[in-house]
A = this chain, B = another copy of it.
Amino acid sequence: MTQIEAARDNKITRKMEAVARAEGQHPALIRDRVLNGTVVIPSNIERDITNLCGIGTGLRTKVNANIGSSLGCEDIKSEIDKLACAIEFGSDTVMDLSTGKNLKKIRKLILEKSPVPVGTVPIYEIASKKMASKKEIGSITVDEILSCIEEQAREGVDFFTIHCGVTKNALKQLRNSNRLLDIVSRGGALISTWIVQTNKENPFYEYFDEIVRIAKKYDITLSLGDGMRPGCLNDATDRAQITELVTLGELARKARKESVQVMIEGPGHIPINQISRNVEMEKSLCDNAPFYVLGPIVTDIAPGYDHITSAIGGAIAASCGADFLCYVTPSEHLRLPTLDDVKEGVIATKIAAHAADIAKGIKGSQELDNAISRERKKRNWVKQIELSIDPKKAKQYRRSSESAPKNVCTMCDEYCPIKIYDDSTKKKDDVYHAIKEGL
């Protein structure tokens, strides 16, 4: 029985209860939102997840970290270290995007070790096999696709990115567009190649019902991928992108009818002034399905700093209603992320998600800020550091430059405004009282 089927039977599952507990919400609210599709709980029935997470309306904005090898960077241990690092800094889910020879081994290990939901992009495995045997992408058969999806499902993958919206129609819009970067999604590029080589319709679209059937069996959440996402600001919110989004909305409804949980993936690179319309469009075209955005990156000129460009876009998108942020690391557009890049990416994205949660009014968010602010007022450095997002870094900064009077910092030293204000009010509370009374 899938979560949606249980909800339809008015049942509150153990998983719904866990999500409700984590969010401080009523279990019945989670059930209702699973039923109407505005919340998903990615969790394969074959796998036990320590940290279940709900994604969607009214819940804390979640963060995903992409890990996994690429050809030539296939160190298994380093990917497992990245998993641990992503979890340490608060990633709510991970996706294993491995390509190359060790793909299966890495996935198996990640599924074994990850306390959080794990997602994959099955087309990567299918294409990797073809490329390893020097065969054309166009030689991929529907059977190969379905059996790979079924195998990964059996292994326990919790959510799949399926690029079912890269249709001939969307490609036609792309070819007629003024894009500078055409396709920048790996899945999108592979499927467009398949279409070009076979002259047939996207099998993930054509055989979507079959994919839904497998997802239902394991209660896997389908994440409908955006193969047409813009790869630069110039390409944002164009007909190719929106044509795909319309298809994703159509397929999302289909999946839900079959009691399969579904979320929608979104861009990418978008100018700040187009972010809210992108979120609103996803919500209206896809029956308010949870929106999972990659970035969005708000300027193309900052390779090396794309954790910052995407923290800006992610914070805006989430405050407008996006539910799930895929991290972007400083190495985006330049290299496979290192362990340190993973850390930087997760923290920047957690900052964006948390800042948006305050704007969304998510329960408990502002309280975290108030707690550290109270300690800042007391100039209690130990507690401020404890309550900060990366206590190790905060401590190291503070230690590197400790001021002689230990209750201030070297930014202002004796001119610490908090200290000055407190000293003056303590000494002269009578005058202050007079001011308060309206002198």
- What would 9 more interface pairs be, CB under 8 Å, given A73-B401, A335-B409? A175-B436, A181-B377, A196-B431, A233-B369, A300-B376, A302-B347, A302-B389, A308-B351, A338-B400
Point out the residues of chain B lying under 8 angstroms from A70, CB to CB: 410-413, 415
Q: Which 8 A-B pairs have the closest CB atoms?
A: A232-B373, A189-B417, A335-B401, A193-B424, A273-B359, A272-B359, A71-B413, A189-B420
Query: CA–CA, A335 to B299, complex, Å?
Result: 30
Query: CA–CA, A408 to B344, complex, Å?
Result: 23
Q: Mark A278-321, 1 if CB is under 8 A from B, else 0.
A: 00000000000000000000111111110111011001100100
A115 interfacial by beta-carbon distance below 8 Å: no
A171 interfacial by beta-carbon distance below 8 Å: yes
Point out the residues of chain B lying under 8 angstroms from A388, CB to CB: 301-304
Point out the residues of chain B lying under 8 angstroms from A390, CB to CB: 302, 304-305
Q: Mark A217-261, 1 if CB is under 8 A from B, else 0.
A: 000000000000001111000000000000000000000000000
Specify the main secondary structure of chain A where it touches its partner. Answer: helix
Least distance between A230 CB and chain B CB atoms (Å): 10
- The reply to whether B196 and A232 contact each other, CB–CB distance below 8 Å, is no
Q: Closest chain B residue to A195 by CB distance?
A: B435
Q: Mark A345-367, 1 if CB is under 8 A from B, else 0.
A: 00110011011101100000010
Least distance between A268 CB and chain B CB atoms (Å): 12
Which of B301, B308, B409, B428 touches A369 (beta carbons < 8 Å)? B301
- Number of copies of this kind of chain in the complex: 2
Point out the residues of chain B lying under 8 angstroms from A13, CB to CB: none
**A397-B335 in contact given A312-B355, A373-B300, A412-B186 (Cβ < 8 Å):** yes
**A412-B231 in contact given A197-B424, A311-B312 (Cβ < 8 Å):** no
- The reply to whether A397 and B436 contact each other, CB–CB distance below 8 Å, is no
Which of B172, B184, B193, B196 touches A418 (beta carbons < 8 Å)? B184
Least distance between A38 CB and chain B CB atoms (Å): 21
Query: CA–CA, A354 to B438, complex, Å?
Result: 45
Point out the residues of chain B lying under 8 angstroms from A389, CB to CB: 301-302, 304-305
A52 interfacial by beta-carbon distance below 8 Å: no
A332 interfacial by beta-carbon distance below 8 Å: yes
A28 interfacial by beta-carbon distance below 8 Å: no
Interface centre among A183, A312, A418, A428 (most CB of B within 10 A): A312
Q: List 14 A-B contacts (CB under 8 A).
A: A137-B424, A175-B435, A175-B436, A182-B422, A184-B418, A186-B416, A195-B435, A199-B434, A273-B319, A298-B315, A304-B390, A331-B397, A333-B376, A334-B394
Query: CA–CA, A183 to B398, complex, Å?
Result: 22
Which of B72, B370, B372, B435 touches A404 (beta carbons < 8 Å)? B72
